[in-house]
Structure 1
Amino acid sequence: MSNNKRVRLSISQKIDLLDQNATGQLNQTDLGEWAMKKFNLDQPLAQQTISNILKNAETLYSNVNVVKNSKSLKTTRYPQLDDEVEKFVADMNNSNLPVNRDSILRYVRHIAQVKCRIPGKEISFSSGWLTKLFKRIGVRSRPMHGESASVDISSENIQNELRKIEELLEPYDPVDIMNFDETGLYYQQPPRRTICSESLGGLKKSKTRLTVGLLCNSDGSYKGHPVVIGQHKSPKCFKTRANLLSMTAIGKKHEVVYHYSTNAWMTNEIFTAYVKKLDVAFGRQNRRIALLLDNASVHKIKIPLNNIKLIFLPANTTSKLQALDAGIIANFKAHFRAQQYDRALCLYISKKLDNLDVYKMDQAQAMFFLANAWLKVNPETIKNCWQHTKILAFKEKTICDFEPVEYPTSALPLEEEIVAELNGMIPDLPGNFNNEVTDVSQLNLEADESDMIVCYTANTTNNEETAEG
């Protein structure tokens, strides 16, 4: 009995094999060897298998749009339903309207009965049936991010505002253009989704939060210390964990700027004090900064600034125009959650806490984690998020709009003083044996480096031969 295992290729692999065969370079045996290397098979593809694939070429090519990883061409009994659902999902996506599985099931039942005239008991319309339909048309459930779909930055009013912002940003180098924004951090919150074999009840969501303000420039070369706002001036954990606090709120790499307010939100007083210190710090560095902000009332400060220009983005556009909202804050929070989950796992393994408490931490620990998370945000990530907003695209356009420099096609005449100076250096030039050259006009100034080296070597060789002779 043969030990060879039957090999089944996916539709896309069969199409690749047909394309390779169409080149006419390989016979069927060679195609078997080619398939083994191409698809990482344990053995060459059998000649009979290849023959069957070649015979079904027309059918395979006609079904090239089916799911690529499928290994058979089994089709649905009612392909018109697939088409209707695919069109429905596309229409909803194009309108930026969310649609879930339940909505699609309701719609497909209606279409099956009213438009396709399919008998009621022909299709189960079960969850499994819908999952297979999703696989056939290439869609799946995904979260919707941010509020960018609600923004139309192409409107005339917003375009006028953007032109004004470009005029304000024009004098500044990209490294001196910065963005500041706040985000809420629920630092004791457990994961919202879980892997399970059956339905589980959720945990109570923690409402304990900090407000974190982040500042960065457009190329990621500058990241300001995070501004952290809590509810209390001096939480108990600051006293009981003074050593940890010295690594966060006070010290060194993990420094944060701590403030407090009644509801742990940013206030005009806190923001004013923060920007005032920034203004002094940038003044010491002789830097002039353009600071992009959303138009929240807490950002409207009344004190004069010498080194910072506050520039406010149009209302309701920050989800598309603000770099921190374009992925920087999300990346920062991902680094924070990674530390939180690592800590929870360690506590679970060591059995130091009740399982329900493994995600809880005090404010000092949270401040350490968030400071560390901000350090881990890569400058390249920051740069990419700025580029995604295209708010500085006019800077790149300005660079590209420069007229190319035209260089002279022939040598320019030398000034008399330079000629005299060069002539004085000629006797000491390497390779100028027997003072063969006395004037700069005799030098071939357009000879490339390799010509000069060959020339020098040849002269040296000739003189050595003369000396030996």
Structure 2
Amino acid sequence: MVRRPSSYTRLTLSQKHKLCAKAAAVVAWNPSDLTTWTTREFKTATPVGRSTVRGILKRKHEFDEVPETQLNQKRRFSAVFINEYKDWRGNGTVTGARVLSLAKITDGVREGTCRGWLYKFQQHTGLWFSLRHGESGSLDEAIVTSGRQELKKVVGQYHSRDVYIMDETSFFYRCELRGTLTTGKGEKGKKQSKVSVTVCVGSNADGSDRLPLHFIGKSIVPRPLKDRNVFAELGVTYTRSAKAWMTTTKFCEWLLDINATMKEQERNILLLVDNVSSHNDSSLVLSKVRVHKLPPNTTAALQPMDQGIIKSLKDMYQDKKGDAELKKFINGEKYEPVDLYNAMKWCAGGWKSVSDETIRNCWCHTGFISMMDVRYLLN
């Protein structure tokens, strides 16, 4: 969300000087007359308020003593100047202290100026603090644009419902949220659990079909999954690798399962995957699945899963996990760390809770599939 600059009208030193001179020359004018004259004379974007005029006239002695050279000096410091600095620095970080330093250097703002001046500057320029998200700021725009055009040609050969994406993410299922409500002054942090598995998340472009979540752990049969059929119970699949990562062998096994599913549905699909060494299907002959890798060094911008789908899934998981723990507390049960089976159950429930609209919006955010195409198919 972009904050709009304040509607407050700021007059320059020269304009304030002219206003004071006009008030002295035409004594009969009241503040209303001076307000109308000021707005018309200086062609301000918004009408000048009477309180602004009164405040200037009360301090008219300050503007009478201003040197002529300073009256004609234009203000150089603005939000535009800050953006120029960020571009020069390569999207550098701008803090409040740096804004004050820039103002002192460029406009001669007096020493001792601090948060009050900074707050007012932010109010009238619309400047505000924003966290950086993702890694798209590190990408080469030319490479991303070229990759997007390439994907448009490939994707254009299929209906949106037949275009799929798959991505893997580390799933630290015992990690707690960083923030909490508390009655004290502060909450002590604690070391987060590093117990994790890899989960593969996939869906088509219109959100009408979500591939079963595919978990990769280190154990052949983890104790919580013993004597359980997780596909029948939860609609997810589980396999193992030495480091709980996706490998070429595991990728090929997963692809064969997807190909068998599409064969049953009599569908031909396009499957987009990241350009990594483990996504190697050269040894396979797939009759229903065409695998296409995303262009190198474009994942942060062109991978739909990274645009918010995986983030939404993990948020939903935390909601399910929190609800289950609260229920245990109410029932007087002893707290126990999350086991893999419950983590998979809550994750599967969270995957169902991610809205179709969220999935569609994340696909369209990449730019190689348009919302027009998706809406046409949905209608």
TM-score, length basis structure 1: 0.59
Shift in Å, 1:193: 3.6
Q: Indicate whether 1:279 and 2:259 are aligned.
A: yes
The answer to which structure, 1 or 2, has the higher relative contact order (CA under 8 A, 6+ apart) is 2
Q: Indicate whether 1:291 and 2:271 are aligned.
A: yes
**Is this contact kept in 1: 2:148–2:367, CA < 8 A?**
no
Which amino acid in 2 is paired with 1:203?
K
Aligned residue for 2:100, secondary structure, equals: helix
Shift in Å, 1:257: 0.9
* Residue pairs, 1:36-47, within 5 angstroms: none
In angstroms, what is the RMSD of aligned CA positions? 4.1
| Deviation by residue 1:136-174 (Cα, 9 ceiling, x = unmatched) | 43233322121122223434x962x55554444443222
Q: Indicate whether 1:227 and 2:218 are aligned.
A: no
Aligned counterparts of 1:341 and 1:91: Cα–Cα separation in 2: 45
Aligned counterparts of 1:99 and 1:182: Cα–Cα separation in 2: 31
Aligned counterparts of 1:190 and 1:394: Cα–Cα separation in 2: 36
Aligned residue for 1:342, secondary structure, equals: helix
| Deviation by residue 1:109-155 (Cα, 9 ceiling, x = unmatched) | 3542x33334434x2x25x6645543443233322121122223434
- Report the equivalent of 1:137: 125
Aligned residue for 2:221, secondary structure, equals: coil
- Report the equivalent of 1:86: 79
Shift in Å, 1:351: 6.6
Q: Indicate whether 1:362 and 2:339 are aligned.
A: yes
| Deviation by residue 1:176-205 (Cα, 9 ceiling, x = unmatched) | 111111112222222224566745442212
Aligned counterparts of 2:265 and 2:303: Cα–Cα separation in 1: 26
- Report the equivalent of 1:387: 364
User: CA 1:140/1:363 → structure 2, altered by over 3 Å: closer, same or farther?
Assistant: farther
**Is this contact kept in 1: 2:77–2:106, CA < 8 A?**
no
Aligned counterparts of 2:328 and 2:37: Cα–Cα separation in 1: 60
* Residue pairs, 1:47-126, within 5 angstroms: 62=44, 64=46, 84=77, 86-91=79-84, 97-99=91-93, 101=95, 104-109=96-101, 111-112=103-104, 114-121=105-112, 123=113, 125-126=114-115
**Is this contact kept in 1: 2:202–2:213, CA < 8 A?**
yes
- Give the percent of matched residue pairs that are identical in Structure 1 and Structure 2: 27
- Report the equivalent of 2:160: 174
- Report the equivalent of 1:310: 291
Once the two structures are overlaid, the 10-residue window that deviates more, 263-272 or 57-66, is 57-66
Aligned residue for 1:291, secondary structure, equals: strand
Unaligned runs of 5+ in 1: 1-10, 14-51, 67-71, 400-469
Q: Count matched residues.
A: 326
Shift in Å, 1:313: 1.1
TM-score, length basis structure 2: 0.71
Q: Indicate whether 1:146 and 2:140 are aligned.
A: no
Aligned residue for 1:310, secondary structure, equals: strand
**Is this contact kept in 1: 2:139–2:297, CA < 8 A?**
yes
Aligned counterparts of 2:106 and 2:372: Cα–Cα separation in 1: 54
One of 307, 312, 318 as aligned partner of 1:326? 307
Unaligned runs of 5+ in 2: 1-5, 9-30, 57-61, 63-72
**Is this contact kept in 1: 2:151–2:368, CA < 8 A?**
no
User: CA 1:131/1:111 → structure 2, altered by over 3 Å: closer, same or farther?
Assistant: closer
Aligned counterparts of 1:136 and 1:347: Cα–Cα separation in 2: 51
Aligned counterparts of 1:88 and 1:12: Cα–Cα separation in 2: 20
| Deviation by residue 1:38-67 (Cα, 9 ceiling, x = unmatched) | xxxxxxxxxxxxxx999967779947499x
Shift in Å, 1:275: 0.4
Aligned counterparts of 1:364 and 1:296: Cα–Cα separation in 2: 29
Shift in Å, 1:229: 1.4
User: CA 1:264/1:141 → structure 2, altered by over 3 Å: closer, same or farther?
Assistant: farther
Aligned counterparts of 1:198 and 1:93: Cα–Cα separation in 2: 36
One of 346, 352, 356 as aligned partner of 1:375? 352
Aligned counterparts of 1:100 and 1:198: Cα–Cα separation in 2: 29
One of 255, 264, 275 as aligned partner of 2:235? 255
Aligned counterparts of 1:350 and 1:84: Cα–Cα separation in 2: 61
Q: Which has the larger radius of gyration?
A: 1
- Report the equivalent of 1:206: 193
User: CA 1:142/1:192 → structure 2, altered by over 3 Å: closer, same or farther?
Assistant: farther
Once the two structures are overlaid, the 10-residue window that deviates more, 269-278 or 320-329, is 320-329
Once the two structures are overlaid, the 10-residue window that deviates more, 310-319 or 134-143, is 134-143
Aligned counterparts of 2:188 and 2:128: Cα–Cα separation in 1: 24
Aligned counterparts of 1:384 and 1:53: Cα–Cα separation in 2: 51
Shift in Å, 1:365: 1.2
**Is this contact kept in 2: 1:158–1:314, CA < 8 A?**
no
**Is this contact kept in 2: 1:85–1:108, CA < 8 A?**
no
